[in-house]
Amino acid sequence: MLIATWNVNSIRTRLSQIIDWINQVNPDILCLQETKVMDDNFPVEPFEKLGYSLEIYGQKSYNGVAIISKIKPENVKKGFNGCTESNQNSEIFLDQKRLISADINGIKIINVYVPNGSSLDSSKFAYKINWLNCLSSFLDEQEKKGELICLMGDFNVAPSNLDIHDPKKYEGGIMASEIERNALKNVLKKRLIDSFRIFEQNTGHWSWWDYRNNGFELNKGWRIDHIYISKELTSKLKSCVIDCSPRGNLRPSDHAPVMIELNLNGINEDFFEDEDNFFEI
């Protein structure tokens, strides 16, 4: 089963590129972020023609997430429920469409668009940390229910300095601060594993390049789009790949898709039988 995540920076502007990519890659599940459109205006037909079901949670201009799946998603939930964070009822918190989850093939698929946070002294930064704390509570609930989890999306956090092209310049700033990294760790705890880092421990792999200053051409990127899976699923994980090719398209999204392959019928024994092969996050 091929599972992908992609911040497309407008579903309508990127539609033909997304359809082309689906035709090349044939994912079973594709989670999108930054669709930037209200549900009534989401272009569902091109995906339905290819045999996909859609679950969408969008808003005008900003944010917006969607799950596109060959198997019809069940138990679809939009946004948080039961978050105990202090400002959970504020208008801004409820208005931003950043999370959608569903059960597919026995796995709890959680698609997130984590707030960027702007800068460390911004009120948006406090919102980002608060949002991540709510996500942590949300995952606590899922863990209590014994769910197998695949948590993916645009996290707007580089988990370590390996995930930044110029750590000396950016360490400690937005997307690379200890506060954000600790908030992300508190979401993952020890229960969720970074799929990409199981296969690749070196720096130099990015999922986002700034539109400005020839970021992609100069390969000055960040790895901020992630697929985290329950420890119990790692025995079924065959690969995790960042597909940089769509970033080279004309009028691209600034993010590249990230995808994993899960072999739900078999176990990849040669690597995962040894507990020591699990990496610290």
Residues with catalytic function = 113, 154, 255
CA quadruple 227, 229, 233, 239: dihedral, nearest 10? 20
d(CA 34, CA 158): 19
Confirm or deny that 55 is annotated as ligand binding.
no
Which contiguous run of DSSP H or E holds residue 130?
helix 123-144
Among residue numbers 173 through 212, which ones bind DNA (CB under 7 A)? 174-175, 208, 210-212
Task: Choose the stretch contacting DNA; rule: CB under 7 A; options: 111-119, 137-145, 177-185, 196-204.
Answer: 111-119
Confirm or deny that 277 is annotated as ligand binding.
no
Identify the residue among 26, 86, 90, 118 touching DNA (CB under 7 A): 118
Determine how many CB atoms are found less than 10 A away from the CB of residue 112: 26
Confirm or deny that 182 is annotated as ligand binding.
no
Cβ closer to DNA: 107 or 125?
A: 125
Among residue numbers 213 through 272, which ones bind DNA (CB under 7 A)? 213-214, 222, 224, 251, 254
Q: Is 221 within 8 Å of 207 (Cβ atoms)?
A: yes
Per rule CB under 7 A, is residue 36 in the interface with DNA?
A: yes
Cα 181 from chain centre: 15
Question: Rounded to 5 degrees, what are φ and ψ at 76?
Answer: -70, 130
d(CA 210, CA 216): 7
Give binding residues for Mg(2+) as ranges.
7, 34, 154, 156, 254-255
Site residues (CB under 7 A) for DNA?
A: 7, 9-10, 12-13, 34, 36-37, 60-62, 113, 115-116, 118-119, 124, 154, 156, 169, 174-175, 208, 210-214, 222, 224, 251, 254
